[in-house]
Homo-oligomer: A and B are copies of this chain.
Amino acid sequence: MELHITCIPGDGIGPEIVRETKKVLDKVAHKYGHKMIYKDILMGGASIDVHGVPLTEEAIADAKAADAVLMGSIGGNTTTSPWYKLPPEKRPEAGLLAMRKALNLFANLRPAVLYDELAAACPLKEEISKAGFDMLIMRELTGGLYFGERRTIEENGVRKAIDTLTYDENEIRRIAIKGFDIARKRRKKVTSVDKANVLDSSRLWRKVVEEVAKDYPDVTLEHMLVDNCAMQLVKDPAQFDVILTENMFGDILSDEASMVTGSIGMLASASLNDTKFGLYEPSHGSAPDIAGKDIANPIATVLSAAMMLRYSFDLDEEADAIEAAVKKVLQDGFRTGDIMSEGCTRVGCTEMGDLLAERI
């Protein structure tokens, strides 16, 4: 089949990791008889440099025209890069937020998995990590504090800033449904995280999640306060299957969870809307300090491409092939610098791409 994929190489290590991911995808296309049709667009700092804004209408149109979007990473060093002298709505990250909103990508899926081969990288002690863990954070991505009204005013000479956290029941219901649907395909447990002892939005969240849960009698639902969840992720990550939460809590908890795995360079993510369309990107950032040195780890992006094949194209076999190649490369002892450990062979970004492609 023909796969129309819009690519956003982006900033920092983005271009290298997307390049290697295309290499792997091309191998998949060759082996399974598909045709990959890529179109590259600019976003973030790369777009600012050319167009003066982090995202153009044209780029949005190109993204919409594709079946899926594959992204590297965006943004630069916030203290040294001139991009961060611009007003907030013109900075690289604003492009990503605008893209999420324009494509209505309300469901952000972030798996946090401890790979057996990389258990040594886990910051938790063995007593805890030996149980292993494999959770998926289902983060609402187009509502809450990120997209509420905000303003900074001066009242009687006193500066004051206001952000708004808003959710309506439809926004909560659609992400809850995604959460329960995916839990059903996994270990059938949803942990809904909120701050219902303080926030009205959390109390509505809890209510609507409970309404949705009625349609999933086979899935266990538990509620957890966000402060407690931040503790439990460190204390006993194995308890989690699907964590379902709103935008800001999801931002914090998914990053915490990814660090708990110790190998953030391995973690993929998908941002989905109500159709088969999705934007796929690694969970890590643009790592400007190592950009262009051919030492970045392309695996998170490669695994994001696997998620793309699975969710947007229903190509499960092809997705499996990519995931198997990643496992194989680890078993064969190859590591980029970020996941390097004694006795393994250190390779660069390009070489890792080659090794993965060979194993397809």
Binding site for B on A (CB under 8 A): 78, 88, 91, 93, 97, 122-126, 128, 145-146, 150-152, 155, 158-170, 195-201, 203-205, 208, 226-228, 230-235, 248-249, 251-256, 258-260, 264
Contacts and interface: CB of A to CB of B under 8 A. Distances in A.
26 contacts: A88-B196, A88-B197, A93-B198, A123-B234, A124-B124, A150-B199, A150-B200, A151-B200, A152-B200, A159-B168, A159-B204, A160-B167, A161-B166, A161-B201, A163-B166, A163-B200, A164-B164, A195-B248, A227-B251, A230-B230, A230-B259, A231-B259, A234-B234, A234-B256, A235-B259, A256-B256
B152 A204 contact: yes
A199 B260 contact: no
A337 to B, nearest CB: 16
Interface majority SS (helix, strand, loop, mixed), chain A: helix
A256 B248 CA distance: 16
A226 B93 CA distance: 15
A167 B161 contact: yes
Number of copies: 2
A160 B152 contact: no
Q: Which among A122, A168, A249 has the greatest number of chain B C-beta atoms within 10 A? A: A168
A158 to B, nearest CB: 5
Contacts of A258: 231
A206 to B, nearest CB: 11
Contact of A227 (B163, B196, B204, B252): B252
B256 A231 contact: yes
A296 B305 CA distance: 50
A255 B235 contact: no
- Interface-centre pick from A124, A155, A162, A163 (highest chain B CB count, 10 A): A163
A279 to B, nearest CB: 18
B158 A166 contact: no
A25 B123 CA distance: 39
